[in-house]
Amino acid sequence: MTLVKFCGNRREEDIRFLKEAGGDLAGFILTPGFKRSVEPEFVKTISKALPENIRKVGVFVNEPVENIIRIAGDDIIDMIQLHGDEDEDYIRELKKLAPGRKIIKVFIVKGEEDIRRANESSADLVLLDAGVGGSGKLFDHSLIKGIERDFILAGGLNDGNVARAIENAGPHLIGVDVSSGVETDGHKDREKMIRFSRNAKKEY
């Protein structure tokens, strides 16, 4: 069954909708300056409403390693997602200083070279995306044929296209990630989230 990650959560009702939709991963943008950024304290507070089976993913963009270590050390997040220009040295340092926290590295896919870099990454998991900040755009999914490891698919997904995207993604797909695709007027939409999850979790 495909895992569903709802990202960019920033309100109490977002978490309620996520649970009602059967989400598996809850993403929180913890680098300041983005539309959906939240403070670590918000995640700490909202976590009380999340059952243990829903993993909390902290999303960081070119964040100083020490900031991530501090947040991870407070047990605010379960997984670390890197959505910037973090290189292999950065990932290795993070693995050494935050043992036990799985690291997801995001790759913006524009061509075959990006797929090659994803295949070679030392991150625990890779996420293939179309852009930064919830662009709402699809990338060329024909490039996915070159992926040789488990990955999460993101970028431009919504309740209307997620089933087809999963069907065409190949054997290494383990999950899908959505943010703006389940929003209305900039806020999470309960019905869209439920439809997205339902369509993503169908058996193919």
Give residue 1's pLDDT band: very low, low, confident or very high (50, 70, 90).
confident
Q: What pLDDT, on a 0 to 100 scale, did the predictor assign at position 75? A: 86
Q: What pLDDT, on a 0 to 100 scale, did the predictor assign at position 137? A: 73
> What value, to the nearest 5°, has the Cα angle with vertex 100 and ends 69 and 95?
55
Q: What pLDDT, on a 0 to 100 scale, did the predictor assign at position 192? A: 98
The sign of the dihedral angle between the CA atoms of 181, 184, 190, 191 is negative
Give the pLDDT mean for 178-182.
96
What CATH number corresponds to the domain at position 55?
3.20.20.70
What pTM was computed for the model?
Answer: 0.95
**Catalytic positions, please?**
7, 129
Q: What pLDDT, on a 0 to 100 scale, did the predictor assign at position 134? A: 54
Give the pLDDT mean for 68-92.
95
Count of structural domains, the chain: 1
Contact 51, 42 (CB under 8 A): no
Q: What pLDDT, on a 0 to 100 scale, did the predictor assign at position 109? A: 96
pLDDT higher than threshold 50 for residue 190: yes
Q: For residue 91, what are the domain limits?
A: 3-200
The 10s digit of each residue's pLDDT in 8-56 is 999 999 999 999 999 999 999 999 999 999 999 999 999 889 999 999 9
Q: What pLDDT, on a 0 to 100 scale, did the predictor assign at position 204? A: 46
Q: Left, alpha or beta for 105 (phi > 0: left; psi -120 to 50: alpha)?
A: beta
Distance between CA atoms of residues 88 and 172, nearest Å: 22
